[in-house]
Amino acid sequence: MFFMKIGLDFDGVIADSHPLKSVIAKQMFGVDIPPDKFFKEYIVEAGLSIDQYKKVKENLYFNDHDISPIKDAPIRISLLLEQGHDIKIITSRTGETLEKAKNLLKKYNLNLPVVGVGYGVSKVPASEGLDVFIDDDIEKLIPLAGVVKHLLLFSSPYKNNKYKDVICVKSWNDIYKYITKI
């Protein structure tokens, strides 16, 4: 095995942020949307406007919610670091929301470099030179084809991956197995 340069998204890969959207949408607007249904098409159908969805996300990222880590993420990341892999986080968060992510990382006992690229901004420049990148958003992975060799989509069972350049993983155990076999 050789040492790899690994890039990780933060929300939905390390921090289990998305279930909180359900709670906040219910509290703020009284709308019931299951955590795995937060796609633009579905939420509008369920009765949440795009503007309200924006407010839900602002609440999620700007307030000090105690967000749990994704199951097994801290332990598997620590193991990969111990094995000598080089790991950094590349997130859309910037400014205040980036600082909140750093606080959560401290809580998870993870000491990793973090790059905040900004919402709606490509992760390509920050990902140059990486061997592996893991994101839960397929839209972030597609532009990385040809830039990063191993693209892993951290996905729930509801997501269908039709992209040949992207490997689907469903848990941190899957990720660990994949990386240690490269």
Contact positions vs Mg ion (CB under 5 A): 9, 11-12, 136
Find the shortest distance in angstroms from Cβ 92 to Mg ion: 8
Structure-token pair, residue 28: 């703020």
Q: Which is nearer to Mg ion, 3 or 119 (CB)?
A: 119
Q: 50-62 and 18-29 helices cross at what angle (nearest 10)?
A: 120
User: Distance (Å, rounded) from C-alpha 18 to C-alpha 21?
Assistant: 5
Q: Select 76 or 136, whichever has its Cβ closest to Mg ion.
A: 136
> 3-state DSSP call for residue 170?
coil
CB 153 within 8 A of CB 166: yes
CB of 135 to Mg ion, least distance (A): 6
**Given the structure tokens 């796609």, which residue do they identify?**
39
Please say whether the beta carbons of 43 and 33 come within 8 A.
yes
> Looking at beta carbons only, is 4 or 15 nearer to Mg ion?
15
Contact 88, 111 (CB under 8 A): no
CB of 2 to Mg ion, least distance (A): 27
Q: Which is nearer to Mg ion, 11 or 87 (CB)?
A: 11
Q: From its phi and psi, is residue 88 left (phi > 0), alpha (psi between -120 and 50) or beta? A: beta
| CA 130 vs CA 30, 37, 88, 123, 176: distances in Å | 42, 31, 10, 11, 17
Nearest residue to Mg ion, using CB? 12
Q: How far apart are CB 129 and Mg ion at their closest, in Å?
A: 21
